[in-house]
Amino acid sequence: MSSAASFRGDGDYGASASGYEGGGGSSAHVPVSSSDDVDPSLVGGFRVIYDRETPFELRIQDADNTPQQVGTLEAIKVKILILGEDADIHAVKVELSTESDLFFLYAHTCDLEAFQVMQEQQKLMIDFADYANVLIRMLNNCIKEPHNHLAVYLMQADGRARLDVIQNMEYKFVELLSVDFLRVSEDAIRQHISFRYNSMKARLQVLQTRLHEVSSIVKTKNPSLLLQLQKTGPSSGSKSRYLTH
């Protein structure tokens, strides 16, 4: 694998082609939660600009610092947040989680000073203002072209981790960007799990209320149809209590 991590901001990974271009911070990928609880990710004034599952190759690094040669493919939910206005970003935060393991939660936070260190170490040809856009574009490429763009996530036992975004150039693999992550604290994990549980519970209550309303309408307008729906449900044990007289 080539270690050439540099790339130019006006090339394939320029901000102009990313999924986020500012303009109020809205994002089509961000679901609206019906829960009154505050998302722990937003603490401190952060706002979500990207929320999407991306295929990651997860690898575990042994005690002798030897990483697995081949990892396991996992759908990782990537949430990108920014602090500040679109034209004046103070910090970029990236959170990684997965539905298959509620206790899997890693975070990367980068301000201008930290980015300048990355920029120097990896010879990055982009500015901090474009950092979030470049991340989004790379992740979208990993989703659209998984054979040509790879997201390799290397985890260590002490909680440190690194995301390597790699492009397959047919004759060699080029490392485009490396991002350091840390596993969040147990308390933060509990907060995130509680928020997800309460959000799901609230959504379920909304659906149950709507189902009850629909059932009442059908019962009034066409009782025989309601009976038919009750008989043709998925299974006798899974019929909703709202589809009863």
Q: Give DSSP secondary structure letters for 128-142.
A: GGGHHHHHHHHHHHH
Confidence of residue 27 (pLDDT cuts 50, 70, 90): very low
Confidence of residue 203 (pLDDT cuts 50, 70, 90): very high
Instruction: Indicate the pTM of the whole model.
Output: 0.74
DSSP state of 8: B
Confidence of residue 180 (pLDDT cuts 50, 70, 90): very high
Residue 78: the pLDDT is 98
Confidence of residue 162 (pLDDT cuts 50, 70, 90): very high
DSSP state of 32: P
Amino acid at 207: L
Model confidence at 68: pLDDT above 70: no
